[in-house]
Amino acid sequence: MHDSDRPRRAPGFQIDDLDGEAVLFHPVKLTIMHLNRSAALIWRLCDGQRTLGEIRDLLSDAYPDAAPEIQTDVQRVLQMFLDNESIAIVRPGPVDDRQA
């Protein structure tokens, strides 16, 4: 995964906040995940607009004391989401010369 990748939440998932943590559930695929506070926040930030690097910077700015952990956690959590197909990665396509 690259810093320029834009993770986007996959459709069909339901999320329920439970006392700061969350449970993510897909009623057709029957995928269920327990998300701690930071994972729940990262999933919500996966809007297909923000890049991985921007998500990491956003969280590091919000939680400066945890910045070193955030550097690795964001990548790890996004990889977990990717493995569970709860996000997809949006990558910029090749530049089309005809549109340039």
Partner 1 sequence: MTARPEDRGRLIVQFADHASQIDCTDAALLACLAALLRHCRAGPSDPAALSTSTFEVRPDEGATWLLLKDGCVVDRGFPTPEVVERLIYEVTLALATSCRTSLVVHGAGLVRGNVGLVLCGESGCGKSTLATWLTATGSDFLSDELVALGIDGSAMTGFPRPIVLKSDSAVVGQPWWDPPVPTPIPFPGGRIYLDPEQLRPNSVRAHAGLRVLVFPRYSPDGPLAIHRLTQAEAAYRLMPRLVNAAILADRGFQAVTRLVRAVPAYGLSYTAAAAAVGELNQLWLDAWDHGPGE
CA distance 61 to 21: 21
Nearer to partner 1, 1 or 32 (CB): 32
Tell me which DSSP letter residue 41 carries: H
69, containing H or E segment:
helix 67-83
29 binds partner 1 (CB under 8 A): no
* Residue of 1, 4, 12, 18 interacting with partner 1 (CB under 8 A): 18
CB of 84 to partner 1, least distance (A): 13
Could you give the angle at the alpha carbon of 81 between the alpha carbons of 80 and 82, nearest 5°? Answer: 90
Q: Which residues bind partner 1 (CB under 8 A)?
A: 14, 16, 18-19, 21-23, 25, 27, 30, 32-36
